[in-house]
Amino acid sequence: MGDRVEPAPRPRIVLASGSPRRRELLDQLGLRFEVRPADIDESVLDGEEPRTYVARLSREKAAAVDAGAGVLVIAADTTVDVDGTILGKPADDAEARAMLMAMSGRRHHVHTGLTVRIDDRSATSVTTTAVDVVAIDDALASWYVATREPFDKAGGYAIQGAGGVLVAAVEGSVSNVIGLPLATLSALARELGVRLP
């Protein structure tokens, strides 16, 4: 019998995001990590497509965190795309309601740009999930806005929370809609020689 090869130790991990949803998803994998949110300008550039936008922001977030040598940095940005229009986080009740009505009774796409980096090596990918939303009337919109759930969520809803009642169907990764596509994360980390989990 040959000698048993011990797996390489997992590097320290830094999550370049303050998102509670992303923290919860990494916790579900049993990973130990440090949270160090990246502070960057998240403005959309003129003519920038949604997928290009989230890929760029994830790369910029990963680059903005000085984590030290040999540390795996995980950075992500998620946006909701309705016919090419980027829906960010609503600023007030009126904007939250407008976003819900824009998605009512139709399909939209959720894109997450994800970058993992160790030292000067990095890998980036964009994961897209299609989401079909039920027809939303005034009463349903008013109820959901009153939950206050929309206000720190791209697109103004949370599939993992009360907003799940708005979702008729999902085609693709559910964890992507929450904000961190776990299968993509695992694949990108493997490209850099790290196994997660």
Give the catalytic positions in this structure: 77
- 3-class SS at 133? strand
Q: What are the structure tokens assigned to 39, written together?
A: 């502070």
Q: What are the structure tokens assigned to 141, written together?
A: 């919109």
Q: What is the DSSP letter of 3?
A: P
Which residues are CB-neighbours of 92 under 8 A, at least 6 positions away?
none
Helices (H) and strands (E) in the chain, counts: 6, 7
Q: How far apart are CA 129 and CA 65, in angstroms?
A: 27
Structural Rg of the chain based on CA atoms: 18
